[in-house]
Amino acid sequence: MFLRATSAFLFVMCFAFPMFAQTPSGEISGVVSDSNGSVVAGVRITLTNTATNAVREVQSNDSGLYTIPALPPGIYTLKVEKSGFRAVERRNIEVLVGSANRIDVTLEVGEMTNTVEITGGAPVLQSENASIGTVIENRSIVELPLNGRNYLQLTSLIPGATTVGPSSMSSTQVAERTSTRSATCANAARSRAPRR
């Protein structure tokens, strides 16, 4: 009886917490400051998905930080507003699967009716974590001539990645040849197939 109850409890606990590493979403976060560099608390941040017009609203905390998690991939417009400051709007922010976009905003003193629209400038920095990733578009997957349709060959499309090993990386060859070593390297990070 005790074993059955413990097993049921462990089963429920395994699925009670979301598995964040596998969610198909991204996030936007940053710091809101004024032109002197001081953080601004209580700022209203509105994020709008340009394709669906879905709106998410958050406020910056006492440290001027804001986070908008669990965003579906898409193009967004970020609007930052607080009374006594000019509103700031940044368009065409691309959120990809697994991306952690950091967008710091500097507010200028002025009327809220005046809006500072940012159309160009520095690209969105991914400084929230040290992971390296990329999204390979469906068009690339369909149109590229993959030898044997092995999806692992798509890793060679990642910037800074190289493949080392036999010319055909089919899973049957790697499984049959236990002495064959293959690896994928991305920016000096190396992942090797286990030796058998």
- Residue-range domains of the chain with CATH: 23-118 (2.60.40.1120), 138-192 (no CATH)
Are the CB atoms for 67 and 58 separated by under 8 Å? yes
1 vs 81, more confident: 81
45 vs 8, more confident: 45
Return the pLDDT at 181.
Answer: 46
Return the pLDDT at 10.
Answer: 58
pLDDT of 86 above 70: yes
Are the CB atoms for 100 and 29 separated by under 8 Å? yes
pLDDT of 194 above 60: no
Return the pLDDT at 1.
Answer: 65
Distance from C-alpha of 179 to C-alpha of 175, rounded to nearest angstrom: 10
Q: What percent of the chain is predicted at pLDDT more than 90? A: 38
Residue-wise DSSP of 7-29 = HHHHHHHHHHS--GGG-S-EEEE
- The region of weakest confidence among 95-109, 154-168, 169-183 is 169-183
Q: For the whole model, what pTM was predicted?
A: 0.62
Are the CB atoms for 148 and 168 separated by under 8 Å? yes
Name all contacts of 163-171 with Cβ < 8 Å and 24+ positions apart: 165/193
52-76 confidence digits (pLDDT tens): 999 999 999 999 999 999 999 999 9
| CA 163 to each of CA 149, 155, 177, 184, 188: distance values in angstroms, whole numbers, following the listed order | 16, 8, 17, 5, 12
CA angle, residues 54, 55, 60, in degrees to nearest 5: 155
